[in-house]
Amino acid sequence: MAPYVMEVEENRTLATTRYRHHLVVWRGKILAVGGQQDDASGASQHVINVLELDINRRRWQLLKQFTQPGGAVAIIFDAAVVAGGQLLVVFQSLDPAGPQRMFLSLDLNSKEVEHNYNLGRGTVQVLDWPHVGILARGKDGNHSHLVVQSKRSSTGDKQAMFWFEVTGKGVSGVEGPLRWTAATTHKQLPGGKGGMLLWLSPMRIIGQPTLVAVSSTAARFSWSKPQGEKVLLVAVFAIMVSGPPDQRAVHLALTSLMMMLPFGRAHLKGLQSADVPLLRNIELDAADVTALPYVGDVDLLSELHSSNVLMQEWPEKGFIIRGSGLADYRCQRLRHWQPFVIQVDLSGKHDSSVRCVSSNTWCATYSSMLTASKVVKDSAALESGAGLHLVEDNGKRIVLAISGQRRTNPGGQLVILDETAPLLGAMIDIADNSATDFEVSDVKGYTFPLAVATCTLKVAGYWLYVEYGGWHYDDQGTTKTNTGLFTIMTVPPQHNRQAMQQQQLPGVMSGAAWSALACASGGTIYLHGGLDIARFEPQESDYDLDGKPDWSFLAPVWGATDQLYYVKVSESDGSYGLGSLQHLSKIGMGPAARSGHSLTLLPASITLEMGMAEGALLLYGGSNTTEPQVSQFATNTIKPKEMLADVALDTRVWLYDLARDTWAVMKPSNPADAPPGLMHHRATFHDKQLIIFGGYKLSHKPLSIMASPDMYILDFTEQIPRWRKAPTDNLEQPGTPALGYPNSGVVPLPHVAAVALMSRSKLYLAPMPQTWRFLQTTSSSGACSTSSGQQVARSNLRACSSRRLQRKRHKHPHCWGNRRASACNP
């Protein structure tokens, strides 16, 4: 949701700073119509002119200055559209005898006012904050035009909408208010008020005159309370005008409905009815409605606001809805408004799509939260580093959470192994609002290590959870590492599969703690970096009876590595084995030694045009620190600044060419927007996007380690990959000092239009950033019949397919590096 800032040439003769104005596009220029501005004393003044911004020259100039003889004029809260070469504007004439709605047509070529008509005195008072829209009829702009006005009413008053037809004929040049009707093939039910109308907009959708109404309303489900669930509803009506000049009437026929998913639900199953704007309460089921992603509660910001939603036509495509959503109170008591944008593309012949971008994050379903918290519930479990993973079960995409159980000694300092406790896991199905936990009790020899590297992959038809390395305390409290140790477990556990297997591979030089692991389909595992114990040194731990320091305690001294390996997983009779470890890159030819970084596999379809024919590994972040327990940076009260002074977090994007055995640094198009240096974050690749979430970042004021609350996306759909930021809200401890391992996790779930996020012991959902949605299909129940007997084809929206961006990526590399950076060449 980070906007792009367009730098323009300053024009001191024009007051370009304004608000409550309209922006419209015409011939590669942006027109700013009307609005308000503050004078030198801070008083608000109405602006009655039109400015144009030449996008190529980045320069503002005055297009038209209006005069206001006979009374004040305001062009705010109204409407402005371009039809052909004409700018059509509805504005307010602040006549002392009563406010009037005026219609104006400006020829953009001659800059002359062609028409100026009164739409009728007092039809809608100015302080009612009406919704106003213009429907230009005819591509050349010379035909009659429809103007609609509506009050923001929640009383069920269906007559609070007024239609006028600007004909340019007769004494007034305007016909109206016109009679209007709204029809649907759905069964009408008692009650209902149509909800709170947030926006009403007439537009042309693929050439069809259409009215789109957005309301905050109630929908009833088989599982909901009698009053229903609060939802955002988008109703699309076909517009027809019929009858002789003195008996013109507007007929509205419902063609499609879109409903935002209720809080905590991933589908619309059990839908029974909804309170629809202009129609009131009608009978519905899930097949009648297209699901929109949940972006929070969408309502009025306050009673003084006209709307919290804006809508605009998407030429030759559909329409765009912009607004702000508020996190549900069941997620966070301190709630914040966060912006969202929903694009509805109706241009497909057989299917259509919905795209959503939002900054809001909301908590997952209650049962999922309970299950996740049961599995990951103490600080020791958090520091295992297991995180979240994606597996599939019976064709469903499942979020996997795994954690070991441990006990601390009474002093709370050392983590003591409980050999009787099982390994816990959870299979969380967001789509079906269900979660089940499982235990793996046969864990003999498993040390429940901290600081492991993990990933999941599918081998021989089964999903495997793979864990590497880590460290633990033995019975004497001595630090032990699991260098070279791999743990493999079938998830969920199968009766014909060995529950857990461990295999020690010789010759591993990669670190045991906080290394990075990446799994590839077919059974390949890649391993990079991490920390390992270089030696033990005496450390002052206490004082003896004579008051002298006791140096008997041996403390580990850790060192980082930069080694890269891969190993193959094979299956035989329900058990799994690892082949020999293969060393890939050589010391000094790639990223420096580090820990706490992420390693993600990029498929060959992404890297081929960068000259990497067999795919690549993308490495991001990590630190040069040799302290395996990062929380010590915050909790160490002796020398915290000295501990952090030498910490460096890498912000570069490293690519390893799997075919050429070479490293290089990739250069995104906007390095200034790259995430800060991160460590202990999580990264995943989905739909041409690298998604990064969580972890730690370094703060310099004051010098400390802070939790990172944001998602970052490296977008490979761009000609040159580009960084985007997707801020998240309502997390447990965003931006707070790091007092424990963040236990970050990120799993994309496109089938429910969300990303699952783990922050410490809590599970959250966020909208899928910058990607096309996979949503349910809207079925058609036939054509809609209007009161005039005309047939209108149903739009038959389908939002279940993914309309991939088909941009052709640039053939040349966008990276640099060492003398072997030719890995990026085609």
Which of 88-92, 228-232, 296-300 is modeled with the greatest confidence?
228-232
Closest CA to 769 of 688, 651, 682, 670: 688
Residues in contact with 528: Cβ distance below 8 Å, sequence separation at least 6, in sequence order: 510, 515, 516, 562, 563, 564, 565, 597, 599, 617, 619
Higher pLDDT, 540 or 298: 298
Task: Examine the pLDDT at 737 and tell me if it is beyond 60.
Answer: no
Give the SS3 label for residue 751: helix
- The pLDDT value given to residue 127: 45
Output the 3-class SS for 349-375: CCCCEEEEEECCCEECCHHHHHHHHHH
pLDDT per position as a tens digit, 174-222? 888 889 999 999 999 998 888 888 888 999 888 889 999 999 999 999 9
Task: Examine the pLDDT at 738 and tell me if it is beyond 50.
Answer: no
Phi, psi of 186 (to 5 degrees): -75, 150
- The pLDDT value given to residue 160: 74
CA distance 324 to 758: 24
Which of 321-335, 460-474, 699-713 is modeled with the greatest confidence?
460-474
Give yes or no for a cis peptide into 3 (omega within 30° of 0): no
pLDDT per position as a tens digit, 651-708? 899 999 999 889 999 999 888 888 888 988 999 998 889 999 988 887 766 667 778 8
Give the SS3 label for residue 667: coil
Higher pLDDT, 520 or 95: 520
Confidence of residue 804 (pLDDT cuts 50, 70, 90): very low
Q: Hey, what amino acid is at 152?
A: R
- The pLDDT value given to residue 819: 29
pLDDT per position as a tens digit, 585-639? 765 578 989 999 999 999 999 998 888 999 999 999 988 877 665 545 443 334 4
Task: Examine the pLDDT at 139 and tell me if it is beyond 60.
Answer: no
Confidence of residue 790 (pLDDT cuts 50, 70, 90): very low
Confidence of residue 305 (pLDDT cuts 50, 70, 90): low
Q: Hey, what amino acid is at 804?
A: R
Asked if residues 448 and 404 have their Cβ atoms less than 8 Å apart, the reply is yes
Higher pLDDT, 649 or 783: 649
Dihedral angle computed from the Cα positions of residues 157, 159, 160 and 162, in that order, rounded to the nearest 10 degrees: 170
Which of 310-314, 372-376, 505-509 is modeled with the greatest confidence?
310-314
Least confident of 18-27, 84-93, 672-681, 720-729: 720-729
Residue 199 has, within 13 A of its CA and on its CB side, a CA count of 24
Closest CA to 223 of 411, 377, 520, 433: 433
Higher pLDDT, 123 or 455: 455
Confidence of residue 401 (pLDDT cuts 50, 70, 90): confident
Higher pLDDT, 325 or 251: 251
- The pLDDT value given to residue 682: 93
For residue 19, give the DSSP letter.
B
Higher pLDDT, 244 or 546: 244
Q: Which residue has the tokens 């460590």?
A: 679
Confidence of residue 786 (pLDDT cuts 50, 70, 90): very low
Burial 416-455 (b: 16+ CB within 10 A, else e): ebeeeebbbbbbbbbbebebeeeebeebeebbbbbbbbbb
Q: Which residue has the tokens 């270089």?
A: 534
- Token code pair at residue 390: 């994606």
Do the bridges between strand 762-767 and strand 784-785 make them parallel or antiparallel, or are there none, so unpaired?
A: unpaired
Task: Examine the pLDDT at 776 and tell me if it is beyond 50.
Answer: no
Closest CA to 732 of 742, 721, 719: 742
Give yes or no for a cis peptide into 702 (omega within 30° of 0): yes
In the chain, % of residues over pLDDT 70: 70
CA distance 161 to 166: 17
Least confident of 262-276, 356-370, 381-395, 678-692: 356-370
Characterise 688 by phi-psi region: left (phi > 0), alpha (psi -120 to 50), beta (else): left
- The pLDDT value given to residue 221: 95
Task: Examine the pLDDT at 421 and tell me if it is beyond 80.
Answer: no
Asked if residues 662 and 822 have their Cβ atoms less than 8 Å apart, the reply is yes
Phi, psi of 19 (to 5 degrees): -145, 165
Burial (0-12, 13-18, 19+ Cβ within 10 Å), 224 = middle
- Token code pair at residue 205: 């959708």
Output the 3-class SS for 484-522: CEEEEEECCCCCCCCCEEEEECCCCCCCCECCEEEEECC
Task: Examine the pLDDT at 732 and tell me if it is beyond 60.
Answer: no
Least confident of 312-321, 666-675, 774-783: 774-783
Asked if residues 422 and 415 have their Cβ atoms less than 8 Å apart, the reply is no
CA distance 54 to 61: 8
Confidence of residue 417 (pLDDT cuts 50, 70, 90): low
H/E element, 292: strand 289-292
**For the whole model, what pTM was predicted?**
0.65
pLDDT per position as a tens digit, 49-106? 999 998 888 889 999 998 765 556 666 657 899 888 889 998 877 766 666 788 889 9
Provide the mean pLDDT of the chain: 75
- The pLDDT value given to residue 333: 55
CA distance 744 to 709: 10
Average pLDDT over residues 405-434: 63
Average pLDDT over residues 707-720: 84
Task: Examine the pLDDT at 780 and tell me if it is beyond 50.
Answer: no
- The pLDDT value given to residue 8: 81
CA distance 714 to 655: 13
For residue 380, give the DSSP letter.
H
